Amino acid sequence: LKKKHGAAVADRVDVNEMIKVPTFDNSVGEPVSRRFLCEIIEARVREILALVHEEIRNAGYHGVLPAGVVLTGGSALLTDIVDLARDVLAMPARVGGPAQLTGLVDSINSPAFSTAVGLLSWGMRSGDFQDSRSQAPVEGGGGPSWGDVIGRFLGWLKHFWASA
């Protein structure tokens, strides 16, 4: 519902627009005001942004971030979220996504995948990846494959959760 019908500023949604919301006992769905849905979304986004604003203050960065903030993640795709972030945080805001991707990246070139792509990119830069054929460090131009990166990342996750 959030992805398909959501907006971060409810006042900009037509009060008469209705959407069908599926229920457990009704596969057709019940009509609900889209604005009502967006009021719920706006309240949660305001709450999260207020917490972010407080963290920025606590870290001593309030008033010293002239470039503002970059919003990422799936919720960064909400209509009007940049305007709401500027209002709540009292600083510039923009939406950012993965950068410097090459190859067939259309499906992951979105703010929704920023964290996953960032972690994989970090792993590729900082890991001591090995070529799976020779078990020797990868040298020269190729670098590790995505399979190597994903395998390494999954190993890191297993280690992380085992020690937590």
For CA atoms 99, 103, 108, 113, the dihedral sign is: negative
Query: Both ends of the chain: CA-CA distance in Å?
Result: 34
The model carries a pTM of 0.69
Tokens of 136: 């020797």
Beta pairing class for 30-33 and 18-21: antiparallel
Q: Please check whether residue 130 is in contact with residue 137, taking contact to mean a CB–CB distance below 8 angstroms.
A: yes
Q: What is the pLDDT of residue 37?
A: 96
Tens digits of pLDDT across the chain (164 residues):
999 999 999 999 999 999 998 888 777 788 999 999 999 999 999 999 999 999 999 999 988 999 999 999 889 999 999 999 999 999 999 998 877 666 666 667 778 888 777 777 777 777 654 444 444 444 445 566 767 777 777 777 776 666 55
